Structure 1
Amino acid sequence: MIPRGMRNRSITLALILVLGLSLLLPMGAQAASEKESKLSKLKFGTPVNLGYPIRTVSINDGVMGKEDGKDVLYTTASTTPAVFNEIDVKNNAQLRAFELEGVAQSWRHVIAPDGTVYIAANTASGTGELWSYSPATKTVQKLKVIGSEKSVWSMTTDPEGNVYIGTYDHGKLFRYNPKTKELKDYGSLLANHNYIRSMAYVDGYIYAGMALPFEVVKVNVKTGASEVISDAVPGILGVELEKLEFAYDMAVVDKYLFVKASGEAGLMMVYYNLQEQKWEDKYIGVDPVSGKGVMSYNQIPVADGKAYVPAHGGILEVDLATLATRNTGISFATSLRGAAWIDMGDPELTRDRTLVTIQANGKLSALDVKKGLRKDLPGVAAKGGPIPIHNMERGADGRLYMTAYPGGVGGMFDPVTRESSNFLIGQAEGIVSAGNKVYYGIYPGGYIYEADISGSKMSEPKLLFQIGAGQDRPYKMEYADGKLLIGTIPDYGQLGGALTIYDLASGEKQVYRNIIQDHSIVGLAYKDGKIYGSTTKSGGLNTTMPANNPEVFVWDIEKKKMTMHTQLTSLTGLGNHRMISGLTFGADGLLWGGVDGILFALNPDDLSVVKQKNIYPDVKDYGMWRPYYSRWGEDGLLYIGLANRMTVVDPATMEYRSLTPSNFEMSFMTLAKDADGHEQIYYTDKTKLMMIPISESDSVKTVVRNGCFGEPLNVDGTIPGWSSAEAGTEVEYSVSKEQSFCGEQGQSLKIIDKSQSNKGIGSYLSDPIPVVRGGEYTASAKLYIEQGLIEGLRTDDSGIVLYFYDKSGARISTVAGTVIKGMPQKEWIDISATGAAPEQAAFARISLYSSAWNMMVGYYDQVSFEGQSPGGLQLKAAGEVSVGDAFDLILQAKDVTDLYAVQTALAFDPALFEVVDVRMADGFGSTSTAYLGWNQDGAKGKVNIIATQLGDRALGGNVDIAYITMKAKQFGDPAEVVLTKQSFFVDKNGDVTNLSYMLSEDVKLGIRFAYDVEDFNKDHRVDAQDITLIAKQLGKKLDDSNRMMDVNGDGIIDISDIALVVLKSLEFVK
């Protein structure tokens, strides 16, 4: 009975408990017939930022100048964001540093006649920009975005202060006028030349160094007229033009233009006589001893008719009268990133013959060309920062190994300690680990490096071999059967990648180019002596893709030939595509991989398609070089960067979870174990290392009433469990048998949206579903688009929407779901909406939605709702019970939020137990703050308990609700007390929402009976069998086998012990 004086709220709740609520069950019974996915048992948490594992200064270029009477170096660290530095050279100290927002790198700096420093900037998003630094105001500013070009590579100025800019993607020349702020576009200088890689200004002309292939173009800056002047260069160097790819650097030195040529022929430098307008027949080639050529330069220092060039692993002196060269004896195998004569005030250095420059790592170097002496200044004056991670792989030691772009620095991250360290390494396109080694595939040049990881630190990477055969980018690397398997992209301007097999024991290298003609290899897997590969149509830069589709192939290692190959054009939903990747063998023996947004599994015997799922139908013609990364977890799930979207798939059911947004490109991923030995997902986000924690799921699936639309219509013709919230005059909803995905009735919800206007808005809402504030929830459904779906002005139209409401029924949050633009038709597709319940949320509703912008005929089915568990109810017992004794059970709510009231139904065997009393637990409240009532049908073994808070109290966590005192009447096996699935609980909003949480299944508590000491055979009876057993031990010495028969504990088994057993047996007879 409810006490007098209880507040109306409590009376309402008590009546709800007695009369029943609108009950929602977790999806238990309904889903039992479906194969449960492993994914339902896992929770993928919010990504965690683990910081910036690779930090560096990373200097590409610099320029020496004067400011406020000091010798200064201006340079930009290619970090994220890039940092412009001004360094006091003589004092090796930073004067100023500015972050260039959005900029990722700079490859050229110039100083105008008025002292303004111009910075050629390339953004992380792939555009070229012009920035400037003013020595007068000590500030930087962004001046211009350079047309629609992707990057800026070269720059110079004229005497009037105009800035000339050379670009990549269309090889365009621009001129910026600082007075008018105007940008003049001269257009592309040469057809089929993507780069202006270098330039110089002389007497009204720009000399532009082109690339792919090498050319030098002379441009009249007034008229724009241009001419190619480099036809003689291949002959002077004795090489074919095709082997000269870049006019990489250029500088005016006295009467000469020094032009560096780079390509397959090596790094060389030629001289153009500006007075005579002709090329000299002398050049600096590749040193035959060291194999080193000419490094890069911005400024070439000159003194006493001599110029100083970085070449042959040191500094070469060039006599400008004869062009003869002399090695200064200085070891300096890198570029001059800005250079000038500086008096360093060091007595060991010649004051007027010490050339100072900056290395890629930010260290200043003083090079005394007279004494042949080099001094690297201590510390790093330039400010750097994090740089983008360009590759990542887990080593056999469990640590993560990474490299960066631009190359030069790598990183190692330990998932156990979460500590990171940096090391020197080039730009690795691929990484693989085998045993205590890690192998890096370095661009440019297709070099393979090896490093030992057996110690606490990785050893310095050593060159193992070069692939050769015109291969440049080792993007795919695997290890199998003692061999490195490498798939590569060819050099600039070339088609035809290669498969390389390198035997680590013998050092034997086999390179097979053009296995699929003109394709590159970006997928590799190994099984039973065969390599399974897949291709991309993309070749080296500045090439046209072949017309034929990418393929999957099989290479027999022993036979040294391809034995099978196929295209995948039969995959449903696959249109034009350029890359197949992500190959990996599963435990099921199938060959898994991805193309566009499609996951597939092939029979390795004939490459036939066994399984497929178009997970991301919106992805079309995706990819270039970077492979899809696939990893199998210890949980048996496939983790794959499908179209660079972090996706986890159950290979048995093909159910999946998307873990990163569709507009986020996740470049690299792997799995590794943390300090607790649990596998987690690690991926890169530009400069950041991110981790997605994996744990056991605490979410539950809730049955959405009539989610398969099989219930009979209501008397008024409406659909049970659903209501129309928003329906224009041109939208119709009905239950149909034309299409069905689930349910025995073979029905679904049909929508006909006939108008692309507000008359065509349709929203069909589920009944309310209770939620836990702050919990994350996912509404899902199947959608079959029969026809239509006209794409209108907007692209964010969702097929499903999740709404959250407060307890008054006011909508407080809207979560848009899967965008159905571009989705395939005439097949069932997955749609979902995921969002967190706001703090004020009491319940949610699912909207099956058609926007005003679309027209379609479609069908919805298998609507479900999954999210944070509201908690549960359970029974607990302490220890064993004895026949005839009373014992307590605890009725407990577990992991609840805002618990207000409970109604439970218990069942037990009345022959074994009886209920003596039920009383309120201290944790639930007292008679002034809560109410508890109960009744029982002892003959049937049933007890009902009602408990509710009074007033506005609500409880959370693990809550003891009631103590149930029972008595054991006799032994039974099994013996259990059951909390039946008719039990449910209500949160504090239940009086408004009329919603409750009901158990999905019976919760059974096994009762353990204690054994009597006289029950030697443990059958819960003392009888003649026990008397016989003790009689056989009469007078025997005690040991472990009979010690329990010393019933009175006097150290011997005698007649008194037998008597005690007989007396106990008489109790059982009674």
Structure 2
Amino acid sequence: MLRWITAVLAAVLVTTATAGAAAPAAPATTGAVEDLGVPISNFLILDSVVGADRDGRPTLYGSTYAASSPGVTFFAIDVETGELVKELPMPDSWGGYHTALGSDGRVYLSTQHGDGLAHLWRYDPATEQLGIVATTDETDIGHTFFFGVGAGRGGKTYLGTYPSGKLFSYDQETSALTDLGTVQADRLYAKAIVPLDGRRVFVGGGTPASANIVDTRTGVATSILPPEYADYSFAYNAAVVGNTLLVQLVVPDQRVLRFDLRGTRTVFAGEVPGLSGTGIVPLDANRAYAVGSCPGSAYGIVRYDFRTDDCEWLTDASWVSGQVSRAVVDGSEWLVGVGSKGLFGRYDPETGEVVTSQLEFAGSGSNVTALRTGPDGAIYGGTYETNALFRIDPDSGATTVLGGVAAGRSGEILSLASTDDELYMGSYTHNVVTVYDPARPWAPGVDPSASNPLDLGPVGEEQYRPWDMVQGSSGDVFLASGAAYGQLGGALSRIDADTHEVSSWRHLAGDQNLFALAAGDGEVYVGTTTHGDGVTASGDAQLLVFDEASSTVTHAVVPVPGSRWIASLAVAGNGQVYGSTLEGQWFRYDPASRAVTLLGDFPLGSANALATGPDGLVYGTGGALFRIDPATDAVTTLADVGGGYYRTIAFDDEGRVYWGSGTKVMRWTP
């Protein structure tokens, strides 16, 4: 349940003064701009399915996921040999989530697309042709895509959308696409799609969690989620074993619910004890293989008996991403899959034999999501969906990819902070913090005495996105985060730089998330947002003043009435705090008088990232690289190459500025 802000902070102060209209930005100053290139190229695989090729050979099909830039490819792997036998481009596509085999033997899959529309792709093994076969007419809702894909009986493929949360039916013979309507109001994601008997389809989604049975003749949806699970973020995966529907719930923990299918009735039958995860493949009417874990076991492939609730761990699952499939090779049945980084594998449950093959897929540049100067003077950063750290040598401009910062964790580094000897990294998902000492060998892990980076684990209660990090004047590191999918209430966490002990405070701004940080003299300034994952908080965005000595919020103000999102904060060399909003306005806060000065619309349109340079001036990116003189509030354009993510500016000892621009790192030399 949410814990609301205390009475002293509930009445947020609105203390502002309005300046005149902001002056236009000064013309670009002299300086050299360098393109330091793409630090990390990447691909992921999120799902796959076994079908047959034109000669009837068992073949594993799927697509890569490259959501930063167009670079998705369709692939086919020979199950017997483990060879990558086909790669086909999916033009202008940049992220594929689910793959399904139709009753017609063709492969159906969806990707996010550059035109912002939801497209369904189909591969025909008989003709070896790949193409788009259906597109929704939802053109007025922003970027949309088919999130869930489930192929059913009777020549139908069912599709769930984001952000409209709709269910669509695609006729495999006529190619007709039918809109069956929004599954549940205020749910943006329709992901877990499982066709059932009687022209019914289960649709799981969020956020918060939703679980519905949709009558495909009428479009009427009936919720089956018991009320005691309403606070979960997502019904993320689902499967049918015999007459049992299994639904996986995620966040704040993982649980698998069981529903008895009794004709057209669906009856809740409790939780499945001991089973974590899904990727379920039925073995018979009562047993199944699953990707997950048994009580006390490691994550892997397990065999579960739903009559006795016996769970048996079989083998590791490093070669599985998404679902595992069944295939027959030389008369024996194997479980087949491919891991997120291209490790193909098959497992014989009878003999225990595992056959693997590391495959290489075409990748694409991955967006720079965080950048910071490290304790050794090098420039460090992370990129989208890699959770990997890279380092740029300021002298040579050369980039070294150090690797994943936390074994077994996915996502990306969203924020960085540096102390005198360590680099702190905040990673999505689960708000995980890792700590790296550049003077020691690279050895990621969880052992405080040996690991580097050291994985401190998730930080804060029900937190997911570590939006910003900063070192306070006390020497401790502060982290601002957003709550998990479907949840409200971000947190401010404090990490002791000597012991790595963590303290965390949630709901400092009511149900809002915490997004931006800047450090002053004994104070940390916190910018909030009403934006959440699938949910929206109340009120206008706030600026909080957090006192390091007492660990309390001593002041709160709405700096820009009507704004819902403070994007970035920076403390200039003269102690003034500059802030920007996602709506394109900026402001100045005086810590001494507690007064806010509204500076109007930002002259360059947006100021997504602000950072204080070694010279005490404030630098930033949006549509361009710019500099703010705190003595006059004058904005000067430094380079016409803009930036993307919020925490992607760093400086070297020579006064040069580094910033992330899409998949590249740029450098400006005065």
Please classify the TM superposition score into its range, dividing by the shorter chain length: 0.7 to 0.9
Equivalent in 559, 563, 566 of residue 577 of structure 1? 563
Q: Distance in 2 between matches of 1:458 and 1:648?
A: 38
1:219 pairs with 2:214: yes
1:502 pairs with 2:481: no
1:59 pairs with 2:45: yes
Q: Distance in 1 between matches of 2:389 and 2:56?
A: 38
- Partner residue, 1:109: 99
Equivalent in 146, 169, 174 of residue 175 of structure 1? 169
- Partner residue, 1:693: 668
1:364 CA displacement: 1.2
Q: Distance in 2 between matches of 1:606 and 1:458?
A: 48
Q: Write the deviation string for residues 251-281 of structure 1: whole angstroms up to 9, x where unpaired.
A: 2333333322222142435354355844463
Q: Distance in 2 between matches of 1:262 and 1:630?
A: 35
Kept in 1, the 8 Å contact 2:572–2:617? The answer is no
Say if 1:111 and 1:685 are closer, same or farther in 2 by CA, change over 3 A. Answer: farther
Q: Which is greater in Rg?
A: 1
- Partner residue, 1:670: 649
Q: Distance in 2 between matches of 1:192 and 1:41?
A: 46
> Which AA in structure 1 matches 2:164?
H
Kept in 1, the 8 Å contact 2:51–2:60? The answer is yes
Q: Distance in 2 between matches of 1:473 and 1:216?
A: 25
Equivalent in 100, 118, 123 of residue 133 of structure 1? 123
Say if 1:279 and 1:265 are closer, same or farther in 2 by CA, change over 3 A. Answer: farther
Q: Write the deviation string for residues 838-858 of structure 1: whole angstroms up to 9, x where unpaired.
A: xxxxxxxxxxxxxxxxxxxxx
Q: Write the deviation string for residues 959-995 of structure 1: whole angstroms up to 9, x where unpaired.
A: xxxxxxxxxxxxxxxxxxxxxxxxxxxxxxxxxxxxx
Structure showing greater relative contact order (alpha-carbon pairs closer than 8 Å, 6 or more residues apart): 2
Say if 1:536 and 1:85 are closer, same or farther in 2 by CA, change over 3 A. Answer: same
Kept in 1, the 8 Å contact 2:304–2:312? The answer is no
1:58 CA displacement: 0.8
- Partner residue, 1:162: 156
Kept in 1, the 8 Å contact 2:200–2:213? The answer is yes
Q: Which runs of 5+ in 1 are unaligned?
A: 1-37, 235-239, 288-292, 346-350, 570-574, 620-626, 696-1070
Kept in 1, the 8 Å contact 2:180–2:219? The answer is yes
- Partner residue, 2:193: 199
Say if 1:435 and 1:125 are closer, same or farther in 2 by CA, change over 3 A. Answer: farther
1:72 pairs with 2:59: yes
Q: Which runs of 5+ in 2 are unaligned?
A: 1-24, 294-298, 446-452
Identity %: 22
Q: Distance in 1 between matches of 2:471 and 2:57?
A: 55
Q: TM-score normalized by structure 2? A: 0.83
Q: Distance in 1 between matches of 2:493 and 2:645?
A: 27
Kept in 1, the 8 Å contact 2:569–2:611? The answer is no
1:527 CA displacement: 2.9
Kept in 2, the 8 Å contact 1:257–1:274? The answer is no
> Which AA in structure 2 matches 1:206?
V
1:326 pairs with 2:311: yes
1:384 CA displacement: 3.2
1:329 CA displacement: 3.9
Equivalent in 246, 254, 259 of residue 266 of structure 1? 254
Say if 1:409 and 1:554 are closer, same or farther in 2 by CA, change over 3 A. Answer: closer
Q: TM-score normalized by structure 1? A: 0.54
Q: How does 1:870-881 map to 2 (within 5 A)?
A: none
Q: Write the deviation string for residues 78-113 of structure 1: whole angstroms up to 9, x where unpaired.
A: 113212111122222111112222222111111112
Kept in 2, the 8 Å contact 1:487–1:500? The answer is yes
Kept in 2, the 8 Å contact 1:362–1:381? The answer is yes
Say if 1:277 and 1:444 are closer, same or farther in 2 by CA, change over 3 A. Answer: same
Say if 1:503 and 1:127 are closer, same or farther in 2 by CA, change over 3 A. Answer: farther
1:615 pairs with 2:602: yes
Say if 1:309 and 1:271 are closer, same or farther in 2 by CA, change over 3 A. Answer: farther
Kept in 2, the 8 Å contact 1:171–1:195? The answer is yes
1:557 CA displacement: 2.2
- Partner residue, 2:659: 683
Q: How does 1:824-839 map to 2 (within 5 A)?
A: none
Task: Give secondary structure in 1 for the equivalent of 2:230.
Answer: helix
Kept in 1, the 8 Å contact 2:82–2:344? The answer is yes
Kept in 1, the 8 Å contact 2:214–2:222? The answer is yes
Say if 1:221 and 1:438 are closer, same or farther in 2 by CA, change over 3 A. Answer: same
1:514 pairs with 2:501: no
1:311 CA displacement: 1.7
Task: Give secondary structure in 1 for the equivalent of 2:486.
Answer: coil
- Partner residue, 1:153: 147
1:545 pairs with 2:537: yes
Q: Write the deviation string for residues 777-830 of structure 1: whole angstroms up to 9, x where unpaired.
A: xxxxxxxxxxxxxxxxxxxxxxxxxxxxxxxxxxxxxxxxxxxxxxxxxxxxxx
Say if 1:417 and 1:578 are closer, same or farther in 2 by CA, change over 3 A. Answer: same
1:635 CA displacement: 4.6
- Partner residue, 1:527: 520
- Partner residue, 1:559: 550
1:404 pairs with 2:402: no
1:464 CA displacement: 0.9
> Which AA in structure 1 matches 2:60?
L
Kept in 2, the 8 Å contact 1:258–1:272? The answer is no
> Which AA in structure 2 matches 1:691?
M
> Which AA in structure 2 matches 1:259?
V
1:393 pairs with 2:393: no
- Partner residue, 1:317: 303
Q: How many pairs align?
A: 617
1:655 pairs with 2:646: no
Q: Distance in 2 between matches of 1:501 and 1:249?
A: 34
Q: Distance in 2 between matches of 1:225 and 1:424?
A: 45
Q: Distance in 2 between matches of 1:225 and 1:568?
A: 45
1:167 CA displacement: 1.2
1:39 CA displacement: 8.3
1:163 CA displacement: 1.9
Kept in 1, the 8 Å contact 2:528–2:543? The answer is yes
Q: Distance in 2 between matches of 1:160 and 1:452?
A: 58
1:484 pairs with 2:477: yes
1:477 CA displacement: 0.8
> Which AA in structure 1 matches 2:482?
I
Task: Give secondary structure in 2 for the equivalent of 1:369.
Answer: coil
1:357 CA displacement: 1.1
- Partner residue, 1:601: 588
> Which AA in structure 1 matches 2:665?
M
Kept in 2, the 8 Å contact 1:104–1:121? The answer is yes
> Which AA in structure 1 matches 2:99?
H
Q: Distance in 1 between matches of 2:389 and 2:59?
A: 29
Q: How does 1:462-481 map to 2 (within 5 A)?
A: 462-480=454-472, 481=474
1:447 pairs with 2:432: yes
Kept in 1, the 8 Å contact 2:27–2:636? The answer is no
Task: Give secondary structure in 2 for the equivalent of 1:453.
Answer: coil
Q: Distance in 1 between matches of 2:510 and 2:225?
A: 33
More helix by share: 1
Q: Write the deviation string for residues 282-326 of structure 1: whole angstroms up to 9, x where unpaired.
A: 6434x5xxxxx62342x6152696310112112221235x25333
Say if 1:465 and 1:482 are closer, same or farther in 2 by CA, change over 3 A. Answer: farther
- Partner residue, 2:343: 363
1:208 pairs with 2:203: yes
- Partner residue, 1:897: none
Equivalent in 419, 422, 431 of residue 416 of structure 2? 431
1:418 pairs with 2:408: no
1:568 pairs with 2:581: no
> Which AA in structure 2 matches 1:577?
S
Kept in 2, the 8 Å contact 1:296–1:336? The answer is no
Kept in 1, the 8 Å contact 2:241–2:287? The answer is no
